[in-house]
Amino acid sequence: MGIGGTRTGRGGQLVLATGIWLAVLPAAAGAQFFGGTQGSDSSFTLRPPRDVPSVPPAPSQTLIPPSGNVAPPAAKGPLLQSPAANPGTQAHAAPSAPAALAVPPGQGALAVSARFGRDLPAITGGLHWRVYRTDGVPRLVKEDKGPAPTFILPPGAYVVSAGFGLANVTKALQLRPETMKDVFEIPAGGLRIEGRVGDARIPQGQISFDLYKGSQFEPGDKRPIATAIMTGDIVLMPEGAYHVVSNYGDANATVRSDIRVEVGKLTDATINHRAAIITLKLVTERGGEARANTQWSVLTPGGDVIKESIGAFPRVVLAEGDYRAIARNDNKTYEGEFRVVNGVDREVEIIAR
């Protein structure tokens, strides 16, 4: 697995890719992070993936549709099992057998379930089933979010889709006037990310992650497949190589790292930023009161604008390095230079004289 990490400037909006459903687990799950080894790039730590059965229980799952609006909680899945709702149940327990259904004469019954692989656990939730009739114009005829639904349908040709987060498996089936069973194997795993500065965990809400298919060094489509992922969210996705863009604050503290997701396993990744929080103040003398309504610009030594803001105490997260601050107040301009040291949050005063 290649591991890379480069810091670059960043700007623009976070937009969820059209047509993709992102399944996430809130950080409140209280899941335990296992220890890991430092990758070859100092900005990225990948902990060994764990089998789904060892993932601690979690309270709920949220599906975020392409619009970015949060839909009602869906059924709990293997990575998202609730101990309160199912005391004593293991996260990888197989779906319970459906109750016997009376199949009307001339109809067929299709019982479906899903698992991570032939020798891996059954998927007990987080699934989205869609059944399409294909004799003629394809049309959606049934939909279900249960772990093992049974569909009563007229005999004929159908396409059945099983969605699990960003992963999806589709099968074409010919239904007969009898009961049929089919198991879908979904090659998916989970990814959970957090950010750190030194030994300090970056609080939720101050950092977010964008997810891209393939390595950051590969050519091709660079549109994100999921955006604005928060600390502790579990993203369910197909097995494969991906890269993460970690955005700490809204200035230039950005790190890119390659990761790999394995089938039926949860991968924990920690992305380490070299940055600090800087509070800017325009004062008449050292330690004096900050002037209100000050316009600020933070620039690199080469003159590139990193961040602009207005206020008496603007806070900005900056990558480690040297900067120049320009303050405009009462039709006058003041400036000064400062250095950002990794993990050292501090105030920077510009003297108005």
Q: Is residue 152 part of a domain?
A: yes
Q: Is residue 84 part of a domain?
A: no
- pLDDT value, residue 105: 86
Q: Is residue 15 part of a domain?
A: no
Q: Is residue 89 part of a domain?
A: no
pLDDT at 239 exceeding the cut of 60: yes
By mean pLDDT, which of 2-16, 196-210, 214-228, 279-293 is the weakest? 2-16
CATH number at residue 127: 2.60.40.1120
Per-residue pLDDT tens digits for 87-141: 333 333 444 444 556 788 889 999 999 999 877 888 998 999 999 999 888 899 9
279/347 same-domain check: yes
CATH number at residue 345: 2.60.40.10
Number of domains the chain is built from: 3
Mean pLDDT of 165-189: 94
Strand-pairing partners, residue 148, are none
- pLDDT value, residue 45: 54
126/152 same-domain check: yes
- Cα(122)–Cα(97) distance, rounded to whole angstroms? 12
63/194 same-domain check: yes
CB-CB contact of 55 with 82 (8 Å) = no
158/307 same-domain check: no
Q: Is residue 224 part of a domain?
A: yes
- pLDDT value, residue 68: 28
Q: Give the mean pLDDT of the chain.
A: 77
Q: Is residue 36 part of a domain?
A: yes
Q: What is the pTM of this model?
A: 0.69
Burial of 70 (0-12, 13-18, 19+ CB in 10 A): exposed
151/292 same-domain check: no
Q: Is residue 170 part of a domain?
A: yes
Residues making up the chain, counted from first to last: 353
- Residue 350: other Cβ atoms inside 10 A: 22
- Cα(313)–Cα(282) distance, rounded to whole angstroms? 8
- Domain of residue 228 covers 22-73+188-267
Tell me the torsion sign for CA atoms 119, 124, 129, 131: positive
192/257 same-domain check: yes
Strand-pairing partners, residue 172, are 159
**In the chain, % of residues over pLDDT 90:** 64
Query: Which tokens sit at 276?
Result: 């600090």
286/347 same-domain check: yes
CB-CB contact of 131 with 143 (8 Å) = yes
- Cα(154)–Cα(349) distance, rounded to whole angstroms? 75
- Which 8-state DSSP code applies to residue 7? B
| pLDDT, greater one: 60 or 244 | 244
- Cα(298)–Cα(157) distance, rounded to whole angstroms? 63
308/161 same-domain check: no
243/197 same-domain check: yes
| Domain finish residue from 185, 208, 240 | 185
Mean pLDDT of 48-61: 34
Helices (H) and strands (E) in the chain, counts: 0, 27
